Structure 1
Amino acid sequence: MTSPQPRPNVAAIPTYVAGKPPAPREGLTVYKLSSNENPYPPLPGVVEAAYAAASRMNRYPDMGNADLYGALSRKLGVPTEHLALATGSVALIYQLVQAFCEPGDEVVYAWRSFEAYPIAVTAAAATSVRVPVLADGRHDLDAMADAITDRTRVVLVCTPNNPTGPAVSQSDLDAFLAKVPPHVLVVVDEAYVEFVRMDDAIDGLATYAAHDNVLLTRTFSKAHGLAGFRVGYAVGPEPIAGALRAVSLPFGVSSVAQAAAVASLEEEAALLERVDALVVQRDRVVAGLREAGWDVPEPQGNFVWFELGDRTAEFAAAADELGIVVRPFAGEGARVSIGEDEANDRIVELARRFG
């Protein structure tokens, strides 16, 4: 050995594949539907707050995140000690695996699910236990409970599930939690919680309050439209939230991101109006897909899932011809975000052509 070598697990870390941006096309408006971004601009007052914070960029951010912790505490009705912030909810996933797993410990999660999960687990030298989703894209919670062993330290429940779309119900989550040993941390990843419109939807705050081993993760990237600023937060019992804060990157959430998040929280009425509009578009797209003969999983986020198998690359190419970029998962399917009205029309057109 003639040079410094990383730990062996580093070489095994999967590569995160980001949504591809569209290439400009002459005479055709192109749309990026590959990253589940909010097509709306920032909410009123957010840009102004961000500009004001940017004018002080020569100063470090408030490492205590006092304004944002205070705003979240008031909105959610939880103590600030039960909150943890990070650069997006994905950073919280990295932090919690780092904080709760020794090398070789197991992390159970559905698959396919959020592709950052195996990256975070492998980076911590922990072991992934992937439990296949059901045929309709839902978590197989019974199988996930059966997969828990003496080595399991964390279980990740992505609801709505990215990329397949369905959400877990409260009754199913309650039944699952009753089977989980109390020393196992159950993470309810609610990145798309604002978009859920289903009977028996999860009440995340009530669930965490009733259990000592449940943590919620949420983000400002989706419904709030602050994907470029990277702000996520966790809600959990003080010992768990405190552990996440202990391993967090100092000054990780920028001053601009904090100011934008606080301003966005103050515009809840406008936020909900936009989310409702996106849900209407989602339902319109799903109706069009089913009319075209597609049996897509029930979407509860801001995206739809096409199960395509070996035709995934062909589907992505057909989408590109229509000026929309989707997120293909080779050999499995494609996730398509709900976007602008014209983009959504093209999703339905794509489904009719490709079917």
Structure 2
Amino acid sequence: MKHNYPLKRIMDDEGTLLDEQFKEQIEESLVKELYFHMLRIRTFDRKAINLQRQGRLGTYAPFEGQEAAQVGSALALTEDDWVFPTYRDHGATLTFGKSMAKTFLYWNGRIEGCLSPKNRNIFPPAVPIATQLPHAAGAAWAEKRKGTKNIAIAYFGDGATSEGDFHEGLNFASVFKVPAIFFNQNNGFAISVPTEKQMNSETIAQKAVAYGMAGVRVDGNDSLAVYFETLKAVEKARAGDGPTLIEAVTWRKGAHTTADDPSKYRDATMGDHVVDPLLRLELFMKNYGYWNEEWLQATTEEISNEIDVAIEEMESFPAPKVEDVFNHVFAEMPAQLTEQKDAYLAYLGRQ
């Protein structure tokens, strides 16, 4: 089946266009926007790991190596669309408009970190695997019934394809022909389980056949290919032509989370053949005259300053309230939980 789903690419590992006709579609502003966001989220990612190691952040899920997949897809959306992320897709949500401070708060276990900006539709990160796929199908169906052109995109990893919610979400989306994109980042491992041990399919893209929807396999480290393939799927969905399953083949450079030790299940040399997505775009920019050292320096300083401000905001945030453990779960809190909440608040002298 793999030959039916060739890996779509626009540039090779050295940053050279595979077809010069692509040059007509690529504007300097797009290339620089891709690079800016990829550098921005990588810097954020590395800083978050450092903060966790210092005890200033909770357990954290890094995404280094997957920047092209997350940024390329998120930039293909418009501000009224819906984003349904997993716990590893904060790079996509940051690109789509979520604040860094709120993202840091999420990784400190704060309920405020789950809140979407008022001008963006970002679902709280889904930690249970694949549960966000039916949610995305439902949101897309709602937009269709309202007569809008808004679409929903659901991010998920390769391990999610072994969950029932994956099949339910895709089947529903296909039956009702909803404007949705199911964006898989196949990074090679479902925590410690390699892809070939958790499914017998040659590709994830081919699973689209069972649901009568379009399936695409793209080089997830080629930011330009990801952007244009996602844009095609977005335009298809807006036109009322139904959902698309995109498999972005990428690589998770580090651990599953900061509580994980990847050396226990994969050799340190695995992934050495993968060209870093940020370096690849840098090579492209140098090959085609888009690279500018002064621009890079200004961009790096801008990102660094933004992160410093976000950390300061996160660490100066008011202390969490114990009520948050009880609130925001039920529309009407059950009597047993109300009793527990009142008893604990009375113990604290805050009732």
Structure that is richer in helix per residue: 2
TM > 0.5: no
Structure that is richer in strand per residue: 1
Tell me the TM-score normalised to structure 2 length.
Answer: 0.34
